Structure 1
Amino acid sequence: MSVIRFTYDKQLTKEFIKLGFELNEDDKKWIPPFRKELQHQLSKDFEFNRNQGNSHCNFIATRNGKMLARLSAMKNKNLIDKNGNQIGTIGFVECINDMEVAKEILNDAVSFLVNENGINKIYGPMNFDIWHGYRFMTKGFEREIFPGEPYNKPYYNEMFIKAGFKAIYSWDSTEVENYEDLIGISSRGKVRFEMLKEIGYTFKDLDSNNLDEQLINLYNIINISFNNFFAYTEIDLEEFTRMYSGLRHSTKPGFFSLIYDEAGLLSGFTGVLVDESIAIRAMRGNKGILSKVKFSINKPKADRAVFYVAGITPEQIQKHSGLGRAGFYYGVQKAIEAGYDKMVFALMAKDQVVHGLLGKHANKHDREYTLYELQI
């Protein structure tokens, strides 16, 4: 077996992307990534790659001309620990079920980070940062996955553990599958929502006709509210806008909202998505006209909402205003009003207080995810 390494190479990039499709094409739950998006992320034009101080290297393991595994090793200059030490990442992981193959390609990636970049702490899986995909699923493989959910072959966890990685942080998702339970969960924040509205708090829904300006506000409030989250790093506004411009088509009125306090200060946000997994899966990783037609045909099949993200400022936390509870109510209520009786409360960190808002579902944890760390 040999391992090919490259940074920018048009043909090898195609092979790198192709392997992901080959290894997952028979998995009916898998949501294919868009090929052009992967090509962009692996190109010199990608925001991460344009930033001085960042670096990466891609690896493909082959035997007798057949691709067996792939991954990338990355140095994000902004990803540092509390002591100021650089943290590396390993992402875009795909591999056949062969621990020796996995060990060899992981060793090469670790060597790149340690010996060529002086890094002694590595997170994985993480594609550049937490914005572009990270974490392995560890539980919930039998469930219908939602867009943006970590999804991988179960044995990938074993690959990392056998290579010396240890679990460092965990998340979970909970699905509520009937109207009555959603109403019960929603009611937990209703009183607080009405109280805050009474004293002047406003909930302003993102408007597709004025999305560009509102995305700037969303970008700012996410950076403020997530600043102390585990492994959080900012991305450029340009990249954020490119990523979130799809909200113009993939959400409903009230599903994404900016929250302002009684003085008009931006204080929080909520983000609910329509689960368009069936429609996206039908596109098979392409964005051509035919693929867009397939998306349109399958879009009406979406019958589930995903409470994907929310946050409030440190000032609101210190005030104990209850804005988090009120925002939670608002997002769930908007989904109910839009006709959804199933909802996934997605990607909650194990130590997040939001679990308490789920009532009897607080410890259900249909799906779980883990980020691993290797210390040299």
Structure 2
Amino acid sequence: MSTTVLPVKTSGDVRRFLELPWQLYRDDPLWVPPFRRNQRELAGFARHPFYKTATSQAFLATDSSGRAVGRILAIDNPVHNQQHGDNLGFFGFFEATQQEGVATSLFAEASDWLRQRGRDGIRGPVSPSMNYECGLLVDGFDQPPTFLMPYNPRYYGEMFEAAGFAKVQDLFTYTGLVREMKSDNHDRLAFIADKVLKRTGVQIRPLAPFRIRQEMKIFRDIYNRSFSEMWGFVPLSEPEVDHFASDLRFLVVPNFASFAEVEGEAVGIQLGLLDFSPIIKAIDGRLFPWGFLKLLFGKRKLKRLRLISTFVVPDFQASKGIGPALITRMIPGFESWGIEELEFSWVAESNLPSRAALVRSNTAITKTHRIYEKPL
């Protein structure tokens, strides 16, 4: 059966592009739908601050009967290339059936679009950058994705490799049980962390929910400073952080976000987000009219937390113990809420200090997402 790939142009094309995952995953019990409005924005079909500096083109694949069988978004992100001295283009929002020729045709169209813009390599999946959902799931297919983490069928990896893509970086998910975080080993680490805090004068405080926008601006400053040398890092813009704050202000639990401060200046942060995936699945990704209320009032029943990587500014990264202190000071909040399981995601393969710290904290790798690349 032949495949046709065309640029997404009409409102009907946009609708079919966005609704394709519901068609492909309808029999997969582990799939969790995305927030529908959020996907429209991130794919560039509605206003989003990422596209103040980036451009994109969506493509939709159809079979001979006109049925949608695949999609891809080609992304030109000059901020990444300025940051790293690269000349790369990117792709994301990839979905495809196993029909022969669908994936290769999609990759060919995205590659041609990026080549026309002078790019000499293509990397992904990123949807639409490393600051959002990124990576292809290649290991850990036995559990549903946690909040804001990607999921895909097993066969996608074979498709990528058949199209000439090769691994460029793995992103690991580490999982641990709260009860094991209070083991003798962890108590020893907490003792060491407390000594470091006393020596450096660092104070730990929770997030202030009534000034979430100001807190997110602090988060942006720490994130951009602490990750500036990290593989694949792209700085977050102020409008992007404002957008995050607007989306997350009712979902963030203050006790699950900690700031490390020295003389009132923030030098580190640990941000945790409840795993809303079970509720998102129940509301089918629709926030309105009742989905938002179900998220807001159902969150107290959630017992799994996703901890986004610990961020410490360069001047204090040598003061080992700030990262563990941020987490250990959050444990009483985990216990009072009833959190049973913690997921640390994601952690880059090349981030050896963070990986070593997580192993010492009684966690283990439970999932691997992969970033691929190939020359154009």
Letter in 2 for 1:326: A
Question: CA–CA distance in 1 between the matches of 2:188 and 2:71?
Answer: 46
| 1:322 match | 321
TM-superposition CA deviations, 1:34-65 (whole Å, max 9, x none)? 222222232362223333xx321111011221
Residue type of the alignment partner of 1:45: R
Provide the residue aligned with 2:156 in structure 1.
Answer: 156
| Corresponding residue number in structure 2 for 1:103 | 104
What residue is the counterpart of 1:264 in the other structure? 264
Residue identity in the other structure for 2:190: K
Shift, 1:266, TM fit? 2.0
Q: Which residue of 1 aligns with 2:334?
A: 335
Letter in 1 for 2:48: F
Give the secondary structure class of the aligned counterpart of 1:79: helix
Render the CA deviation track for 1:143-172: whole Å, top value 9, x for unaligned: 232112221111111111111110000121
Aligned to 1:67: 68
Matches of residues 131-150 of structure 1 in structure 2 within 5 Å? 131-150=131-150
**C-alpha distance after superposition, 1:269-309 (max 9, x if no partner):** 11122222111211212111232344356434311122222
After TM superposition, the structure 1 stretch with the greater mean CA deviation from structure 2, 214-223 or 141-150, is 141-150
Q: Is contact 1:282-1:298 (8 Å) kept?
A: no
Query: Contact between 1:71 and 1:90, CA under 8 Å: does it hold in 2?
Result: yes
Partner Cα distance (2:184, 2:81) in 1: 41
TM-score, scaled relative to structure 2:
0.90
Cα distance 1:83–1:281, how it changes in 2: closer, same or farther (>3 A)?
closer
Are the equivalent residues in 1 in contact too, given 2:89–2:121 (CA < 8 A)? Answer: yes
Question: Structure 1 pair 118/80, CA: closer, same or farther in 2 (3 Å)?
Answer: same
Q: Which amino acid aligns with 2:5?
A: V
Question: Which deviates the most, 28-37 or 71-80?
Answer: 28-37
Deviation, 1:337, is 4.3
CA contact (8 A) 1:307 1:331 kept: no
The answer to whether the 8 A contact 1:176-1:182 is kept is: no
Say if 2:147 and 2:277, in contact at 8 Å, map to a contact too: yes
**What's the offset of the Cα at 1:133?**
1.6
Partner of residue 77, structure 2: 76
Q: Name the CA shift for 1:267/1:295 in 2 (closer, same or farther; >3 Å).
A: closer
Amino acid at match of 2:253: K
State the match for 1:5 in structure 2.
7
RMSD of equivalent CA atoms: 2.3
Q: Is the contact between residue 250 and residue 296 of structure 2 (CA under 8 Å) also seen in structure 1?
A: no
Residue 13 of structure 1: CA displacement? 1.1
Q: Residue in 1 aligned with 2:30? A: 29
Which stretches in structure 1 are left out of the alignment for 5+ residues?
A: none
Shift in alpha-carbon separation, 1:183–1:225, aligned structure 2, 3 A: same
Q: Give the 3-state SS of the residue equivalent to 1:216 in structure 2.
A: helix
Distance in 1 (alpha carbons) for counterparts of 2:92 and 2:198: 47
Q: 2:48 aligns with which of 46, 49, 53?
A: 46
The answer to which of 338-347 and 142-151 deviates more is 338-347
CA contact (8 A) 1:185 1:358 kept: no
* Structure 1 residue 346 corresponds to structure 2 residue 348: no
CA deviation string 1:192-227 (max 9, x = no partner): 332244343111211111212111111111111111
Match of 2:235 in 1: 234
Deviations 1:44-89 (A, max 9, x none): 62223333xx321111011221111001101001112887232100
Identity within the alignment, %: 22
- Measure, in 1, the Cα distance between the counterparts of 2:269 and 2:358: 19
Structure 2 residue aligned with 1:304: 304
Using the TM superposition, give the Cα deviation of residue 264 of structure 1 relative to its aligned residue in structure 2, in angstroms: 3.4
**Any unmatched runs of 5+ in structure 2?**
none
Question: How many Å separate the matches in 2 of 1:348 and 1:21?
Answer: 29
Mean Cα displacement is larger for which, 86-95 or 142-151?
142-151
Could you say if the C-alpha distance between residues 15 and 342 of structure 1 is closer, same or farther in structure 2, counting changes exceeding 3 Å? same
Alpha-carbon distance, 1:333 to partner: 4.9
Sort the Cα spacing of 1:44 and 1:143 in 2 relative to 1 into closer, same or farther, 3 A: closer
Corresponding letter in the other structure for 1:21: W
- The 1:106–1:205 alpha-carbon spacing in structure 2 relative to 1, beyond 3 Å, is same
The 10-residue stretch of structure 1 (332-341 or 266-275) with the greater mean CA deviation from structure 2: 332-341
Tell me which residue corresponds to 1:365. 365
> 1:182, CA displacement in angstroms?
4.5
Structure 1 residues 143, 298: CA separation in 2 closer, same or farther (over 3 Å shift)?
Answer: same
Pair 245,330 (structure 1): closer, same or farther in 2 beyond 3 Å: farther
